[in-house]
A and B are shown apart, each in its own frame.
Chain A
Amino acid sequence: DQQVKQNSPSLSVQEGRISILNCDYTNSMFDYFLWYKKYPAEGPTFLISISSIKDKNEDGRFTVFLNKSAKHLSLHIVPSQPGDSAVYFCAASASSNYKLTFGKGTLLTVNP
């Protein structure tokens, strides 16, 4: 049973435009969400997180939105740059539990 789902395996965007990566979750106990970025032959690196007490968190070009009623979160990258091309993983955890559960990832390609 996949508790964190990233339904788009890939996304292609033009440089300078907005990239929107989506993530859905099923476990209502999840209250902390993270996005990781992964380049080939490297480990995932933390990008941005959001607690369930917020609906938005922004860090430079990256903004994460959380819709608790829909059990949906999204990562917006504006403007997109070729260096943003990577696999993006959504992850979730519950404050009552130590586990970090990951989605399968979305490959973002930003074309110059």
Chain B
Amino acid sequence: DAGVIQSPRHEVTEMGQEVTLRCKLISGHNSLFWYRQTMMRGLELLIYFNNNVPIDDSGMPEDRFSAKMPNASFSTLKIQPSEPRDSAVYFCASRAGQVQGKAFFGQGTRLTVV
């Protein structure tokens, strides 16, 4: 298996534009996490899905952020409209099972909003 695959690896966009980040889970995994990494706050959990259903989105900063899992192997994180403070590295991670166990991370998307 190729592991968790994220695209794009880098994204530079202008303030106000829509940004869509993509994530392909490891085959057979049924839990998905979206994290955001910044210097100030470290790795923050944004949203968690289990079996394609969003279980906890309390970490999503505001309504400008939305995430979907249209099928068991794919997820998107959308920011609309984007703002400079959204600049960060966004990771998705997948896990087999709902509790405990190790999560496998993608390589991340570095987002820069200018």
A: residues with CB less than 8 A from B are 32, 34, 36, 41-46, 49, 89, 93, 95-105
- C-alpha spacing A46/B106, complex, angstroms: 12
- B72-110 near A? 1/0 per residue, CB < 8 Å: 000000000000000000010100001110111111100
Task: Choose from A95, A100, A103 the contact partner of B103 (Cβ within 8 Å).
Answer: A100
B: residues with CB less than 8 A from A are 4, 6, 31, 33, 35, 41-43, 45, 48, 50, 55-56, 91, 93, 98-100, 102-108
- Tell me how far the C-beta of A101 lies from the nearest C-beta in chain B, rounded to whole angstroms: 7
Most buried by B among A36, A41, A98, A99: A98
- C-alpha spacing A98/B106, complex, angstroms: 19
Contacts of B33 in A (CB 8 A): 100
Identify the 7 closest CB pairs spanning chains A and B, nearest first.
A43-B105, A104-B42, A102-B43, A46-B102, A32-B100, A44-B105, A43-B107
Contacts of B106 in A (CB 8 A): 43
- A95 in contact with B91 given A43-B106, A102-B42, A103-B42 (CB within 8 Å): no
Contacting pair B98 A98 (CB below 8 A)? yes
Contacts of B56 in A (CB 8 A): 98-99
Contacting pair A93 B100 (CB below 8 A)? yes
Contacts of B108 in A (CB 8 A): 41-43
- A97 in contact with B4 given A43-B91, A89-B43 (CB within 8 Å): no
Contacts of B31 in A (CB 8 A): 98
- Tell me how far the C-beta of A73 lies from the nearest C-beta in chain B, rounded to whole angstroms: 15
- C-alpha spacing A36/B37, complex, angstroms: 14
Contacts of A49 in B (CB 8 A): 102
Contacts of B107 in A (CB 8 A): 41-43
